Amino acid sequence: MICIAGKNNIAVEITEYLQVLGYTNICVVLNSTDDGVDSFQRSFKKYALQKNIPIKTLEEVYKIKDLIFLSLEFNKIVAPEKFLTKQIYNIHFSLLPKYKGMYTSYWPIRNGEKTTGVTLHRIAKGIDTGDIIAQEEFEIEIFDTCKDVYLNYIKYGIALIKKYLPKILRNEIICKPQKSNESTYYGRNSVNYQDICIDLIDTANGINNQIRALVFRDFQLPQINGKKVTHCLITEEVSKEKPGTILEEQKWYYKISTIDYNLLVYKDAFEYILELCRLGESEKLQWFIENGYNMNDQNSKGWTPIIVAAYHGQYEVVKRLIEHGVCVNKTNYNGTTPLMYAKDYAFSTNDFKTVQLLFKCGAGISQKDYNNKSLKDYICEQYDDDKFNYFFDKLYQ
């Protein structure tokens, strides 16, 4: 039997993958925090219930013989000596031996690291201490936020497990001990999210890292002077005023003096950006694009700017967003694609320009949402097969 213990898309997608490979002898252990509702990550509990996969407690799986135990963002410390099996593995979101413990999307950014990565390792007694099986490194880009790094961990973690799953299943794992001299650890109290403050007595780069490390819209945004902020731009102006002085406040940004260079800190404008997309205000949107606002960001429903523009048939906005490089297949938190959103406008107005543009720029038509339904399923459900054929013909016009 294979047990997947954990949460989020990594636990869901690996369980899904095992099922696709034909494994039926699967059970899951859930995190206590999983409330069964999809958010920016899918709920593993909801998935397991939907697919009728047996849900067990950790105490129950300890006693299963011939078990493979895979911990994927599992939030309990497991006791390897209690298992009847030796095949117990974890994916840790860092390049072990560095960044053992928690907040591994926060600390590498805060510390100005240029890269981080994921580690597949055996679970030993202790926190993230077991022998290393494999690692995959990725870059932390200069504008990456905590959420970007976390989503990369999920993506690279899924790929690493898929790569090593055949070896895990055949019990052909080779591993090596962790080096002691490079090991670091951050515990539960190393970040206090209830009392976030940005220390403005820092270099421009330091403040930038503090802000990026806290930007995770689904949890919080950092604040300066009572206003939520999302990103910074380091100017070439040498700071002459006392560090931390607010030199200028404009509607969407502050200019702040620091230990070295003046810094532009931009205020959160995401709801306004979605409004501009709804209304088709592409010229006004341009200022936000040019000033570094994240056009792939998502609100609490997972709506991106392109989803909102597509739903309202705002062709010019969709075009501008695509030219800027946004992802045309990024879904909302139910797996609904921009093209699925665009179809209603197309049918109600018989204006297929936005649909055609999305398709031409790489929007997938066979992608399924989390209810396992594709665009075709929805069109056929709502209308009929002829309507889908009509839609399909329009794509190629």
What does the binding site for ligand TYD look like in residue numbers (CB under 6 A)? 93, 102-106, 146, 150, 193, 216, 219-220
Kindly state the smallest distance separating residue 95's Cβ from ligand TYD, in Å: 14
Q: Which is nearer to ligand TYD, 149 or 342 (CB)?
A: 149
Kindly state the smallest distance separating residue 284's Cβ from ligand TYD, in Å: 30
Kindly state the smallest distance separating residue 105's Cβ from ligand TYD, in Å: 3
Q: Which is nearer to ligand TYD, 58 or 109 (CB)?
A: 109
Kindly state the smallest distance separating residue 154's Cβ from ligand TYD, in Å: 10
Q: Checking phi first, is residue 103 left (phi over 0); if not, alpha (psi -120 to 50) or beta?
A: left
Q: Which is nearer to ligand TYD, 89 or 216 (CB)?
A: 216
Residue 45 CA to residue 51 CA, distance in Å, equals 10
Peptide bond into 338 cis (omega under 30): no
Kindly state the smallest distance separating residue 186's Cβ from ligand TYD, in Å: 9
Q: Which is nearer to ligand TYD, 115 or 250 (CB)?
A: 115
Structure tokens at 161: 């497990």
Exposure of 189 by Cβ count < 10 A (0-12 exposed, 13-18 middle, 19+ buried)? exposed
Q: Checking phi first, is residue 335 left (phi over 0); if not, alpha (psi -120 to 50) or beta?
A: left
Q: Which is nearer to ligand TYD, 155 or 324 (CB)?
A: 155
Kindly state the smallest distance separating residue 330's Cβ from ligand TYD, in Å: 19
**Cβ proximity of 31 and 10 under 8 Å:** no
Residue 243 CA to residue 239 CA, distance in Å, equals 8
Q: Which residues of 321-350 are buried (b: 16+ CB within 10 A; e: fewer)?
A: bbeeebebeebbbebbbbbbbbbebbbeee
Q: Which is nearer to ligand TYD, 220 or 223 (CB)?
A: 220
